[in-house]
Structure 1
């Protein structure tokens, strides 16, 4: 298999592990910076160059596209798709997952459990908007934030209104959610590959914080997700069209609730906590799809 990995940094743990796993299995692999890929788009075909040379003939591409380059990175990935290159996470699926409002709407439409969420634009509607959600505490999230950045907890109604007013003044897009107290600052990251949970870890927020992200000082340990949690994680990834996803759940009295579905989940935390070769699972899934003939396809032209 001739494999490309879209990543801006070859030294990142996740990128290095994917390269190692691919080479250990005898595949040819190259890391491409998506911002150095440029494209020709015409009715007679699609062409892509990288650092002055044409690139073609890749059987598969694994996207590791950061949030800061979502728009351009997804365009590059779409060009690969149009050039008949398989990817476990399509450009459209990544865009769905990166937009928290859109992904929540899609998941809720399939009756997947979520914390109650409200969204509005006009300042005149703030009081009624919060009444739709219920009393504080409230969790306020930037619509496209990552790694716990742009996530705030407000414990009083006046604080919720103040934060919302400030964010609107910055023209930021955000959601407001119920705070699920029984989770006690913990969540569950289920790593889904090819329609199954291959590894899971429980993350715990540091003292004085409610965000369990490892980048925010949270701790993690490997766990076995329950059958119900695995089912929810797999369904959430499938609804968004992701073959590889990190699905974050919280345990509530209502059952597992989806906090977020990450289209480019990091491998370091999950591999260290679980002891599972997650990079290898991803490579084997991609190679298996190609072997079955389900990977090679002509992308739909829209």
Structure 2
């Protein structure tokens, strides 16, 4: 059916905007400009950007520091302009989910996108994703969802032991096994939840399969084992992994590919489990990490994602080059990373032995002097300072070697915003009593990896 004049005008403007953006994007480049939308510093994001460069094209890291858009004379312009977009937003950890989704959608208008916003929205909500997969005939564990205590209580009429999960969440945090005789509410940590039938693979140690699918093809697969004393198989929680690519049977391979297809995902990590001789789809992850997959299989997914993006952007890639790149995981900081001075004019990528920082939480912000420690894996904050700014939410615990005695101590982990060199970053920091230490904040490698370190630099208290 032909569109109305208004519809035609709107489509023409969208097409003009696309042409304008493409022209601006390729004016100073020699290949396809592949934009990776990612406001975090994950190894996977860096690896994809480096793979684009290694394949002879132009990576563009889209972050808060460099993203902007304007509407001028009815035409939408996006900066930086790109030929194709890879959506790697960690939406399950976002504090502004709608804003981040709309940012992806803004860039998606007129630009080919890997993992389009509509598909991500469906897959992000685990119960909604399960409902779509079940409607398509894929085997899904029985599950129950309700938004009030009254409706949620009825889950015991339908399930026995179950896994209690957040509808939107990641890394298995705050999940629990629940029984019908327990009081279970419709939320976990203030977020909506659901219950899913607990499957039993009949192994001595709980495990499942993570199958990575790119463009309808299985790239690699691994078996994930739960840590000792736990039932959750998430690599982020300390589980072990082993290569399962060659042993992956036809049925789990088919299910993984079909699950990604049903949810219209170009890139997906599909979790499967065997129960009673039948395979089930547990979850489909839109920004699944692949560091653990590389450790298990020796295969990096990054060049396959880069290849798909380049081809969707109109470029060509040598398949042999992709296969060669897949044997390494280059997660070094790419040269295309925008710096803080692109947005505020005062950024510095060199940190000293001590650096003045600000920390922010739910109850406010405070300045402090932080010590840089490249030997520490994660950033740490003094308990009094964390309480004063309202750091959080609490996202778990970690075991740390005690410096004064043998053994370890357990410390809480909280999400904390830290302003370093004029740039705000979010880290998962450990909370410790640092009253006997000179500096209330210790910057670990989770922050230092983005900067150069000059221990001759110091600041006064």
Q: TM-score normalised to the size of structure 2?
A: 0.57
Is 1:37 the equivalent of 2:61? no
Give the equivalent residue in structure 1 for 2:167: 143
Is 1:2 the equivalent of 2:21? no
Is 1:153 the equivalent of 2:177? yes
Contact 2:70–2:77 under 8 Å retained in 1: yes
Structure with more helix by fraction? 1
The change in CA–CA distance for 1:130 and 1:39 in structure 2 (over 3 A counts) is farther
Is 1:55 the equivalent of 2:85? no
Give the equivalent residue in structure 1 for 2:422: none
Kindly state the Cα deviation for residue 205 of structure 1 after the two structures are TM-superposed.
Answer: 0.4
Alpha-carbon separation, structure 2, partners of 1:59 and 1:183? 48
- Local SS of the residue matching 1:149: coil
Give the equivalent residue in structure 2 for 1:173: 192
Kindly state the Cα deviation for residue 68 of structure 1 after the two structures are TM-superposed.
Answer: 2.8
Kindly state the Cα deviation for residue 119 of structure 1 after the two structures are TM-superposed.
Answer: 1.0
Q: Which has the larger radius of gyration?
A: 2
Contact 1:34–1:76 under 8 Å retained in 2: no
Kindly state the Cα deviation for residue 35 of structure 1 after the two structures are TM-superposed.
Answer: 7.5
Q: Cα deviations across residues 11-31 of structure 1 (Å, max 9, x unaligned)?
A: x21112112211111111121
- Local SS of the residue matching 2:171: coil
- Local SS of the residue matching 1:75: helix
The runs of 5 or more residues in structure 2 that have no matched partner are: 1-31, 317-461
The change in CA–CA distance for 1:46 and 1:130 in structure 2 (over 3 A counts) is farther
Is 1:74 the equivalent of 2:95? no
Is 1:188 the equivalent of 2:209? yes
- In the TM superposition, what are the counterparts of 1:208-287 in structure 2 within 5 Å? 208-224=229-245, 225-287=248-310
Kindly state the Cα deviation for residue 42 of structure 1 after the two structures are TM-superposed.
Answer: 8.4
Kindly state the Cα deviation for residue 86 of structure 1 after the two structures are TM-superposed.
Answer: 1.3
Alpha-carbon separation, structure 1, partners of 2:312 and 2:223? 30
Contact 2:93–2:169 under 8 Å retained in 1: no
Alpha-carbon separation, structure 1, partners of 2:68 and 2:293? 33
Is 1:100 the equivalent of 2:121? no
Alpha-carbon separation, structure 2, partners of 1:178 and 1:132? 9
Give the equivalent residue in structure 2 for 1:86: 112
Q: TM-score normalised to the size of structure 1?
A: 0.85
Q: Cα deviations across residues 230-263 of structure 1 (Å, max 9, x unaligned)?
A: 1101111111110000011111225221111111
Kindly state the Cα deviation for residue 138 of structure 1 after the two structures are TM-superposed.
Answer: 1.4
